[in-house]
């Protein structure tokens, strides 16, 4: 199914991180095992699309014919029972082109349709770049992807280029995986920028002050603080919520874990999603695995 691994690139990074997180987050094994299997198919689709370079007008047909069957195969082989059953029943009655077209057009979809379209289209859009992304339908504003108009899946803080600097915030597109800069202390769901309406939820002990470190990202520590206070499960991920629109997304701080690959780490942070939902927030857009 999957070709031999490419040594570098986004898919090698995602595969490596998936392996690391399987060890670190055994509770997410079911999701990460499946995602690891899917990555093989996505990487192959990415590579083939890079060579075939289908035009924007043929995008939907290309994805439906060349990528969807492999995504269906891997999902039937490695996916959970409910996904397998839902896929089998949907494909009996629905043309895959309609599923992919709905995702390209930004229409509301049931979860299984969206999963299939998203898993198949994502690597092709990544491979083809801006021209293909421009053919997708969606709002082009600060809160949506400037390339394809897709919604933000997550946000992350980039690694700063200096020790005493804080990295900028970026949003990552749920549809084409492009990243764009976005202001901190501003809700990516509704644009609210009053910080009293933007609660942040994170594990205790993960801020630099609680660790006894004066400067975020530097190792130095004042006396009286122990490593025990740093034993957080997600030292680098926090929930960024909005009391105005009641949405949230997860933020990955790459300065706190430079090895993190935001799209993979976000998939593994299901306990934080549960915390956010418990507090009445819903994610701006569910991730590939539906959380």
Tell the smallest beta-carbon distance from residue 201 to other proteins (Å). 5
Window 41-80: contact mask with other proteins (x via CB under 8 A): --------------------------------------xx
Specify which residues 172 forms β-bridges with.
154, 179
Tell the smallest beta-carbon distance from residue 92 to other proteins (Å). 18
Asked if residue 275 binds other proteins (CB under 8 A), the reply is yes
Number of Cβ within a 10 Å radius of residue 197: 14
**Residue 146 backbone phi and psi in degrees, to 5:** -70, -20
Q: How far apart are CA 219 and CA 233, in angstroms?
A: 19
Asked if residue 205 binds other proteins (CB under 8 A), the reply is yes
Residue pair 26/107 in contact (Cβ under 8 Å)? The answer is no
Asked if residue 222 binds other proteins (CB under 8 A), the reply is yes
**Residue 201 backbone phi and psi in degrees, to 5:** -115, 125
184 burial type by CB count under 10 A (0-12 exposed, 13-18 middle, 19+ buried): middle
Asked if residue 164 binds other proteins (CB under 8 A), the reply is yes
**In this chain, which of 90, 207, 235, 244 binds other proteins, going by CB under 8 A?**
207
Interacting stretch for other proteins, rule CB under 8 A, among 61-69, 120-128, 144-152, 200-208? Answer: 200-208
Q: Are strands 179-181 and 247-253 parallel, antiparallel or unpaired?
A: unpaired
290 burial type by CB count under 10 A (0-12 exposed, 13-18 middle, 19+ buried): exposed
Count of residues touching other proteins (by CB under 8 A): 63
Interacting stretch for other proteins, rule CB under 8 A, among 63-71, 81-89, 125-133, 143-151? Answer: 81-89
Interacting stretch for other proteins, rule CB under 8 A, among 29-37, 65-73, 99-107, 135-143? Answer: 29-37
Q: Which of 162, 158, 169 is CA-nearest to residue 218?
A: 162
What residues line the site for other proteins (CB under 8 A)? 26-31, 34, 79-83, 86, 111-112, 115, 157, 160, 162, 164-169, 183-185, 195-196, 198-205, 207-210, 214-216, 222-224, 233-234, 239, 270-275, 277-278, 286, 289-291
């Amino acid at each position: 199914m999957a070709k031999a691994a490419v040594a570098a690139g986004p898919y090698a990074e995602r595969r490596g991180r998936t392996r690391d997180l399987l060890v670190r987050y055994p509770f997410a094994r079911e999701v990460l095992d499946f995602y690891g299997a899917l990555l093989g198919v996505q990487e192959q689709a990415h590579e083939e699309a890079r060579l075939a370079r289908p035009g924007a007008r043929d995008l939907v047909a290309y994805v439906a014919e060349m990528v969807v069957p492999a995504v269906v195969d891997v999902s039937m082989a490695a996916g959970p029972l409910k996904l397998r059953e839902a896929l089998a029943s949907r494909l009996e009655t629905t043309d895959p082109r309609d599923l992919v077209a709905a995702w390209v057009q930004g229409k509301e979809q049931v979860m299984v349709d969206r999963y299939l379209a998203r898993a198949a289209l994502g690597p092709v859009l990544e491979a083809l770049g801006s021209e293909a992304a421009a053919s997708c339908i969606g709002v082009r504003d600060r809160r949506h992807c400037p390339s394809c108009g897709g919604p933000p899946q997550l946000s992350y803080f980039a690694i700063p280029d200096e020790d005493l600097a804080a990295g900028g915030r970026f949003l990552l597109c749920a549809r084409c995986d492009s990243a764009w800069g976005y202001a901190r202390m501003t809700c990516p769901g509704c644009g609210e920028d009053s910080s009293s309406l933007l609660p942040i939820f994170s594990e205790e002990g993960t801020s630099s002050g609680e660790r006894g470190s004066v400067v975020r990202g530097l190792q130095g520590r004042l006396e009286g603080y122990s490593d025990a206070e740093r034993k957080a499960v997600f030292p680098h991920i926090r929930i960024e919520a909005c009391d105005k629109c009641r949405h949230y997304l997860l933020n990955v701080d790459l300065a706190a874990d430079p090895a993190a690959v935001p799209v993979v780490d976000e998939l593994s942070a299901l306990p934080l999603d549960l915390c956010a939902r418990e507090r009445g927030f819903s994610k701006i857009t569910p991730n590939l695995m539906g959380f």
